[in-house]
Structure formats: C-alpha cells, structure tokens
Chain A
Amino acid sequence: MSYFKKAVGVAAAACLTVGVMSSAALAQAKASIVSFNGPAGEAYIGRFIKGIKETAELKGFDIKVFENQFNQAEQDQQVQQVLAAGQLPDVFIWWPSDATAGLGSLRALHKTGVPVLKINQLPNEQDKQYIFGYAGPDDRLRARNAGYMMREAAAAKKAAGGTSFNVIALSYPHSYGGYGLSINAFKEAIAGSDLKIIGDVDEGFGQANGYKGAAKLIASVKDQGIDFVYGMDDAILTGGINALEEAGYKMGEDVIAVGTVCNGDKQLIEEGKQFGTTLQSPLHEGQLAIKLVEEYLETGKLANYINFTPNPAVTKDTIETTALRGYDGKLYGISELCSGAW
C-alpha cells in the first residue's frame, strides 16, 4: 500500500512538473499559430508540416496543426471546433482543401480578427480580402522553367540532326486549378521553338495515373511519333516514363522527358531517362510560411503580398550540387528539398 502511495505521489509530482514546464514553455512562446492543411500522409504536405513545425520551434512560436484528408467539409468542421474552443491564436495558416468551397471558413477565420496567411493555392479575387499574404509555389514559373529546359533539349537535338519535336503532356486533371496555369506557362515557354504539343492527357495525380494516362495517349498518338514528354509533376512523369519504356521507347534517346516539382524518382535523372525537373520544396514552403508570420507579427505587414518559393531547374549535371538555403539559415541539399523518391 505504501508503495502504491509513493507511486501515486511520484506520478502526481511528475505531472505537476510537466504541467509547470509546459505552462512555462507556453508563456515563453512569442506567439501561437494554428495551421489548417492536408494530411501528413501525403508526401509533399508531410514535408510542409515538418517545415512549419521545425521553423516555428526555432523561432519560439507555439504551433498546432489540423490535418484534413483532402476534405473541405472536414476542414470546415475543424475551423468551427477551433473557433468554438474560444482560444484564438495570433495567426492562422490556411491551406484550403478546396479554395472555393472553403471560402466560408476563411471568412469565419477572418471575422475573428486574427490575421490569416494563405498557403499553396494562389489568392483569387474572392479570398484576397481575407488574408494578409500568400506563401507557396509558383505554378507558372515552375512550368515555364520546364518549358525552357525542354527548349534547351530540343535545341541540342536539332543541332545533332534531329527533325521531329512532338511533345505529349501528362497533366493534372483539367478541372484542377494548377492545370491551366501550368499548361499555359509551358506553352508560352516553348512558343516559337520547334516543339509542338500533339497530345495532353489528364488521368490524375500520382505514378499509377501517370502510367495509365500515358499508356492510352501513346496508343492514340504513336503514329505521329513521340519525341518529348512534359510531366506536370514528376510523380505523374515517373508513371509516364514506365509506360513509354513498356511501349518500346528508349528514354533519353527516343524520348526526352522533363518534369517539375521533384516529387518523382531521382534515379531517373541520374540514369538520363529524365532530362530534368524544376525544384519545388515543401520544406521551403513551410519555412517561408513561418518567416512571413514572424515578419507580419513584427511589422504589421508584409514586404510582399505574394511570396513564392524558388523553382530552380535541376538536371543530371546539377543534381548533386543543387542546394538552397532555408529560411531557417541552414543549407539543404536536393534530397531534403524534394518530396519523392529522392
């Protein structure tokens, strides 16, 4: 019995100590942040969450992350729960599952008077009045850089005597907002060159859909000849490369592949099967978000309303030397910046 009493005493003391320490830690936190975003189970978002959490800790912010399973209704419910709890943070980070459907929740967050930073999806006319800034990728720059890379590859092919420059595009679903931005920027980048898009398929996201879409598109345009493939992201492109190889094409020789986002397979670039990609780092995106929160809390405004993460081109020649300095001051290599099999 006495042992039991001692154990209870020790446990109570431990709880009290932990509680006091936690309170002290909270008291020391410069500010509190609540982030609404997708699930950590998705590779890209997983790294984004890592970025915001680590940087927030570094800057002394207290952060709570609410993940939804790509479900706006679930995210709306989380917003209501946070608002109902009554303990408002100093800043909200808002990565809507669906920017249009989530407008009501964004408005509700704005009404509390707590500033809101939007992430990943560019502000539109409807929601820009509710946010103090944006941090995230530049779909257009990313696609444009991919187009420039393909131009470079096409020029090299032409110099070597190549005469055919047909391109197939493995796209995001055409209903997805990033599709229009990406395909238009890509088309602008290749305009005036010998490159010509002969097919565009939108099977869906990920390797499996990339494979399926490419396989069907190959059957459709094989007769015209396929010389280049543009993957709207590397995961889709990885599946597409599998389909092209299965159809008998020799990647890097018969067909030149260019992707973006660096969420595919590093080995494909090392082997020369993929000409290159444009970097889009979720870790940077998370770090940038916290940097902007800090800037806003200190100055009451942002120097720039729109803040893009960098999208440098990465090829076989630069893959080992590409590095970016994070907003936490550390230097990150390609394996830490990318989100696929890197």
Chain B
Amino acid sequence: MNANAPAVSRQAKTPTWLANLVDKYTWLVVTLVALFVLTFAYGMITAPNFLTWFNFKTIIRDAALVGIMAIGLTFVTLSGNFFLLSMKETAALAIIAFATAMSAGYGFEISFLFTMGVAVIAGALQGVLIGLGGNPIVVTLGAAGLFFGVASWWSENLVISFRRPHGAEWLGSGSFLGLPNITVAFILIAIVAELVLRYTTFGRQVYLIGSNRAAGKATGHENFSMAIKTCIIASSCSAFVAIAFSAQVSSAHVNYFSSSFGSSGDMTILVIATVMVAGNSIMGGFGSTLRSSLGAVFISTVDNMMVLHGFNSGPRVLAVGLMIVFSIIVFALVRRGSRVQE
C-alpha cells in the first residue's frame, strides 16, 4: 500500500488530459510541442498587426502558390514514389507555354487548356519512367533539366509578355468575397484533393500502394498506372500555379520560379519542405493533402510573423528552416511512438 502511494499522488497531480497525451506521445514530444506552441503564441501576440483579418488573408494568399504545388506533390509522396524534383521546372515549362499562347492571342481558355495539356504530357512522361521502375529522384532530376531546357529554348530566354486586358486578370488579381481568387483556388483544391483521397477508390489505392506496394500488386493495383496518375496530378498543380502567376504579372520567364535569394529559396525545395513539415511519410502510405495545405500555411505564418517583427531575409530563412526540422523531428517521434505501441 505504501509503495503505491507516491504513484497515486503523482497521478492525482497530473491532469487526465495531460496524462493521456503523455501516454500517447511521450513526455519528450509533449514538451517539445508545448515549447513550440508557447513560442509561437508569444510571436503572434507580440507581432504588430499579426492578429488582423487583413494579415490572415495575406498569410493564406502567401501560402497559396506553394500550397497548391504541395497538394499535387502529396499524391506522389503518399503513393510511395517519393518526390518530383521537377516541380519548379514543370512550372517553368508551363508558364512559357501559357504566356506564349496568350501573347499569340489565343485567349485564356485555349491557353489554359494548352498549358494543362503540356503539363499532362510532362507528368505522364515522368510517371511512365517511374512506373517502369526508374528511381523517382533520378528520373525527375533528368526531367527537370529536360523541361527547363525546352522552356529556355522555346522562349529564347526572353521575358514573354501579354498586354492587359487579356482575359486572365480574374485569376491573377481578381477576388471573390474579399479573398484573392488564387486563395479561393487554393482552398477549393485543398478540399477537393482531401475528399478525393478520403472518399474515392483512387484515393484508397494511393494509400494502399504507398503503404504496401506488394499488397497493392497482389490486389491488382500496379504502381505503373498509379505513378502516371499521381505525376500528372502533381504536374497539373504546378501548371496551375504557373498559369495563376503568369496571369498576375502578365508575363513569363523561365526563371520566375528560380529565385536564388530570399526567404522563398528554391521553389521545389520549398514545396518538398511543405510536404515534409506537415508530417507526411516520405515512404508513402501515411499523410494527407490537408496536412500539406496546413504545412504551407504554417511556413507562411512563421515567415509572416518574422517580417512583422522586422527581421530581414537571413533570420527568416533560418527560422523557417528550424521550424521544418523541428516538425520533422516531432512527427518522427510521434510515428515511432505509434509503432512501439503497435
């Protein structure tokens, strides 16, 4: 009786919800998350003008382009095909295709369809090679060079512009109920993607093949067609971002997504970081597009908060990088804990 007394006393002091959390995730994870939440909350409260509707819209809008690309890439990752290292170059090819068609006077609709067609071909090409057994990293590295080369050659490395009004302004700079249309598109794509993953046969196949390729094969679901489908989705999302951005600035150049400096860094790396920061499993089978959407908003929020605190690009890159590493560690610990429990 006496031997059990201290344990009873400790249990009595620890709230049930906390005990449950610790039981599920371990003290380390709970402490790390608590520290993070406190830091984040402090940053939010002390950042001037952070907690305003205008700034909230800014954060979501800022997250939209990377978020849409990350949603597309999530399908590839969940299906167990790692990443496409060609996201940025696919966008470069798409933006040149769109601006070329627009500047030739084909109008928004035809230019949009033409660009999406280019993206489908780009995605299918990579999907076929990956589906045939090619290493996704190697295949998409090669594809990145191919797409960028074609885009550079096609545009002769020049800026391609199309004069306003051009019929694409509604997508690039229009708004709906006070929200920029690109933000609306991001929200809609996030919802549709999540519904597709959760409630369609295709979505279940993505998880099945991602978590256990052998089981997928045994039940008649080959990675060949899955790789093609998911690569097409990812490429299409890249192309959509390219179209939206081109519509916004009424021009295109192969380097629009290749900024060497600044807090955005490399677009492909940022998109991959977004997928990772959200806790999606790099090996496939675990995660969701909703996580990736929230990951994009999270990165955007951290960066936004730093700007409002007056930090320049160096510390912001550092902070975003630290947050990504932190999230990956926490999610890894959580998943390890889950496996131990199993």
A residues sitting closer than 8 Å to B (CB atoms) are: 40-43, 46, 70, 172-176, 201-209, 211-213, 215-220, 222-223, 238-239, 242, 245-247, 265-267, 271, 339-342
Contacts and interface: CB of A to CB of B under 8 A. Distances in A.
Nearest to B164: A267
Nearest to A201: B307
B262 A207 contact: no
A209 B259 contact: yes
B249 A238 contact: yes
Interface string B166-181: 0000001101000010
6 contacts: A173-B314, A201-B307, A209-B259, A216-B308, A220-B307, A242-B172
Contact of A265 (B148, B249, B260, B303): B249
A208 B304 contact: no
B62 A175 contact: no
A239 B249 CA distance: 7
Contact of A70 (B49, B65, B260, B262): B260
A217 B259 contact: no
B245 interface: yes
Contact of A340 (B58, B159, B245): B159
Contacts of A239: 249
Interface of B: 48-49, 52, 54-55, 58, 61-62, 65, 148, 152, 157-161, 163-164, 172-173, 175, 180, 245, 248-251, 253-257, 259-264, 303-304, 307-308, 312-314
Contact of B49 (A46, A174, A219): A219
Contact of B313 (A202, A220, A245): A202
Contact of A267 (B62, B163, B248): B163
Nearest to B50: A219
A341 B307 contact: no
Nearest to B162: A341
Contact of A341 (B48, B161, B255, B263): B161
B173 A245 contact: yes
A69 to B, nearest CB: 9
Interface-central residue, A206, A238, A271, by most chain B CB under 10 Å: A206
Nearest to A203: B262
Contacts of B158: 43, 46
B259 A341 contact: no
Most A C-beta atoms less than 10 A away, residue of B173, B175, B245, B264: B264
A176 B249 contact: no
A45 to B, nearest CB: 9
A218 B49 CA distance: 10
A58 B148 CA distance: 31
Nearest to A179: B312
Given A208-B245, A216-B303, A202 B255 contact: no
Given A219-B49, A219-B55, A340-B251, 17 more contacts: A42-B157, A172-B261, A175-B261, A175-B313, A202-B262, A206-B256, A209-B259, A209-B263, A211-B248, A215-B58, A219-B308, A265-B161, A267-B163, A267-B250, A341-B160, A341-B249, A342-B159
Contacts of A220: 48-49, 307-308
A341 B313 contact: no
Q: Across the A-B interface, give the 6 residue pairs with the lowest CB-CB distance, nearest first.
A: A204-B262, A341-B161, A341-B251, A216-B307, A219-B55, A46-B157
Contacts of B261: 172-173, 175-176, 204-205, 209
A74 to B, nearest CB: 13
Contacts of B250: 265, 267, 341
Contacts of B58: 215-216, 218-219
A161 B134 CA distance: 68
Given A43-B157, A173-B262, A202 B312 contact: yes
B262 to A, nearest CB: 2
A82 to B, nearest CB: 23
Max chain A C-beta neighbours (<10 A), residue from B61, B163, B164, B253 = B253
A217 to B, nearest CB: 7
A174 B314 contact: yes
A217 B61 CA distance: 14
A246 B314 CA distance: 27
A246 B148 CA distance: 30
